Copies of this chain bind each other. A is one copy, B any other.
Amino acid sequence: MPTESKLTRRLRHGARLSERDIGQLETISASAIDIVASTDLIKQHDVAKHAHIILDGVACRYKFLRDGRRAIVALLLPGDFCDLQDSIQQKMDHSIATLVDCRIAKLDKQEITRLLESSPAIRRACLWATMVEEATLREWLVNVGRRSSEEAVAHLFCELDARLGAVGLARGHVFYLPLTQATIADVIGISAVHVQRVIANLKDAGLIMLQDRVLVIPDFASLAEMADFDETYLHLGNTVGPHEQ
Q: Is the CB of B138 within 8 A of A235?
A: no
A contacts with B, residue count (CB < 8 A)? 44
Copies of this chain, tallied across the complex:
2
- Is A33 an interface position by the 8 A CB rule? no
Query: Is the beta-carbon distance between B232 and A91 smaller than 8 angstroms?
Result: yes
Q: Does A159 contact B (CB under 8 A)?
A: no
Q: Is the CB of A189 within 8 A of B145?
A: yes
Known: A69-B146, A90-B237, A145-B188. A137 touches B139 (CB 8 A): no
Among A89, A145, A146, A189, the most chain B Cβ lie within 10 Å of the Cβ of A145
Set of chain B residues within 8 Å of A61, measured between Cβ atoms: 138
Q: Which of B71, B88, B90, B93 contacts A141 (CB 8 A)?
A: B71
Shortest CB distance A42–B (Å): 14
Across the interface, name the chain B residue whose C-beta is closest to A151.
B65
Additional A-B contact list (20), CB under 8 Å, known A66-B228, A71-B146, A85-B127: A65-B228, A70-B146, A73-B142, A85-B131, A86-B131, A89-B128, A89-B131, A89-B235, A90-B235, A91-B232, A93-B135, A93-B138, A134-B134, A134-B137, A137-B138, A141-B144, A144-B145, A145-B189, A146-B186, A146-B189
